[in-house]
Amino acid sequence: MDMYTLMSGLQLTCIYAILAIGVSIIWSSLGMLNLAHGFTFAASGYGAWWAVTVFGNSALVVFSAGITTGAFVGVLIYFLAFLYIYDKPNYPVRALIATMAINMIGVQFLMWWFGPRMKPLPKVFGFGSIKFGDAVVTYSQFGTIVCSVGVLGILLGWLGITRRGLEIRAMMQNPEGAALVGISLRKTALWVMALSGALAGLAAVLLSQTFFVSPYAGLQPLIKGLIVALLGGLGSIGGAMVGAVMVGFAEALTASYLGGQYVLMVQFTMIIIILLFRPRGISGLLDEAREE
């Protein structure tokens, strides 16, 4: 494996990990498979692009606008798809459908409002590259890896140390038990949605260093996020990390040795094989994974 493949594998791994952890935390604490994650992603890209046109071109503007838009869309999804139905019958299926509907509405709205043309985001990490011996690593790859590893570290630390993080972890373990010891389901869910939305916003900004912002930009990241979260076992952060590494490197290796068009094929073949042997993902054990 050459340096380029390694770095692009690492870059993809980081972005997928950010997306998958959002999906996974929402699933395990709220019991909802958030299919509107793709819309959050696309909307954050547009938010960052709009902020750049208004406030000028700087890394701070891009990051803060992307993350704020993501958090805002996350809260919107909370109000539309969680708050009203979370205690009603048939909740998991209805939440899935509601988020799918929000995704549809949101993507078509972006299409209608901004048009189908793609928008570029400024290169926040600059255009240069670093040389490690004979290998060349671009600033944006390097920046993406450093940035996402840092954010994931802060997030995991925050989840582990703070009281709010403790509440979220309690809800991930057992929502009813958390409610019994006085953790407000609604408040914590609001935090979870804002947090995962912000993560999706960050991933959108990072991925837009390589790709463009477009209304359908969220579909592939959504599929990847779902793949990674399910492969790792829904609700398991460690599993999501391992899944992200596998999916990210499978993608980088396929892209450099077989060709870009075979990426999804290889990934899905891998997943089908893994799921056949471990039906609840890599780390989700049969009994411990949250029932639907």
Partner 1 sequence: MAIDKQSQHSAPSRSLVGDRGWLPRIRLAGQRSLTRYRIPFTRRTWFQGHAVVNPRDLTRQYKLDDKRPWFWIGGLIAALIIPILVGTNLALTAATTFALYAAINLMWMLVIGTAGIFSLATLAVVGASAYLAAWFSIEFGITWPVMLLLGTLVGLLFGAIIGLPALRIDGLYFALLTMGVVELCRVYVLQSRTFGSATGGLYGADTFIPVAWQLKTPGLILGYVAAFAVMLAMLGIYRLVNGQRLGLLLATARESEATAEALGINYQRARFTVFLISSAGLGFIGGFYATYFKGASPSLFSIDQVMLLFAMIVIGGLGRAEGAVVGTGVVVVLDKMFTEFGPIRFIVIGLIMLGVTLFARNGLFGIRDQFVEFRNKKKSERRSGRTEKGGEPLPEEATEIRDKDQIYFRRFDKRLRDHLKTLVTPEVIEEHRLKPLGQHSDPLERVLNYFRGAGGENKYVLYELKANTEYKIIVTTGEKGIPPRDVDSTIYTSKNEALHAVFLKRVQDLMDS
Q: How far apart are CA 205 and CA 137, in angstroms?
A: 19
What stretch of H or E contains 106?
A: helix 91-114
Nearest distance in Å: CB 75, partner 1: 17
Question: Strand, coil or helix: what is 129?
Answer: strand
How far apart (Å, rounded) are the C-alpha atoms in residues 249 and 155?
Answer: 23
| Residue labelled with tokens 């912002």 | 213
> What CA–CA distances, in Å, run from 242 to 16, 19, 113, 231, 248?
11, 13, 38, 9, 10
Fill in the amino acid letter for 180: L
Q: What's the closest the beta carbon of residue 57 comes to partner 1, in angstroms?
A: 29
How far from each other are the two terminal CA atoms of the chain, in whole angstroms? 40
Nearest distance in Å: CB 105, partner 1: 4
Least Å distance between CB 77 and partner 1? 11
**Which lies closer to partner 1 via its Cβ, residue 7 or residue 271?**
271
- For partner 1, the closer of residues 17 and 271 by Cβ is 271
Residue 46 CB, nearest distance to partner 1 (Å)? 15
Question: CB neighbours (10 Å) of residue 13?
Answer: 24
Name the CA radius of gyration of the chain, rounded.
Answer: 19
In whole angstroms, give the CA distance from residue 211 to residue 221.
Answer: 12
Please work out, in degrees rounded to the nearest 5, the angle formed at the alpha carbon of residue 35 by the alpha carbons of 45 and 156: 70
Closer CB to partner 1, 22 or 66, in the complex? 22
**Minimum Å distance from CB 166 to partner 1?**
27
Residue 17 CB, nearest approach to partner 1 (Å) = 18
List of residues contacting partner 1 (CB under 8 A): 33, 80, 84-85, 88-90, 93-94, 97-98, 100-102, 104-105, 108-109, 111-112, 219, 223, 226-227, 230, 234, 261-262, 264-265, 267-269, 271-272, 275-276, 279-281, 292
How does 73-94 read in b/e, with b if 16+ C-beta sit within 10 Å? bbebbbebbbeebbeeeebbeb
H or E, element range at 4: helix 3-30
CB-based contacts of 256: which residues, under 8 Å, 6+ apart? 2, 4, 5, 8
Helix (H) or strand (E) holding 135: strand 135-138
CB of 51 to partner 1, least distance (A): 24
Query: What's 35's DSSP letter?
Result: T
